[in-house]
Amino acid sequence: MRSLPTISLALCLALSPPAWAESVRILVQSSPLAGSQYYAVGEFWGELRVGDRLDLIREPDNRHDRHAIRVEWRGHKLGYVPRAENRAVAAALDGGDRLVARISRLTEHSNPWRRVEFEVFAEL
């Protein structure tokens, strides 16, 4: 026999998800930030925090990569989604999917590819 709290939780989950959750996020990818050594990461290093929201901005006219996605923090360009990992995210953004991103790891490292990691989520 199930306990009352388990049944109540099961009913809550099955009958009324909007009552307890505004949205569902599905992890699409986790990546290092590309090009951070050329942009504002150094300038804002002391202010960046794990969990901070990042904006993903498509650059379809980028002369180096037609799938380019710029990564910004509070309006400051930090770098890009790595070229080897940007096609699916670019296609999703181009298709109107709602994607959100956040800083998942910050590490003081001599290799710029290991300093900032971020996650991209599809929001349903």
Second-level CATH architecture of 22-123: 2-Layer Sandwich (3.30)
pLDDT digits (tens, 9 = 90+) for 44-63: 999 999 999 999 999 999 99
Taking residue 52's Cβ as centre, other Cβ atoms within 10 Å add up to 16
Measured at the alpha carbon of residue 115, what is the angle toward residues 38 and 37, in degrees to the nearest 5? 10
- Which pairing describes strands 69-73 and 76-80: parallel, antiparallel, or unpaired? antiparallel
**Backbone φ and ψ of 84, nearest 5°:** -70, -15
The answer to whether the pTM exceeds 0.95 is no
DSSP-derived 3-state class of residue 10: helix
What is the rounded average pLDDT for all residues in the chain? 86
Report whether 119 contacts 29 (CB < 8 A): yes
SS3 108: coil
Q: What is the mean pLDDT of residues 1-30?
A: 60
Convert the pLDDT of each residue in 62-82 to its tens digit.
Answer: 999 999 999 999 999 999 999
| Domain boundaries along the sequence of the chain | 22-123
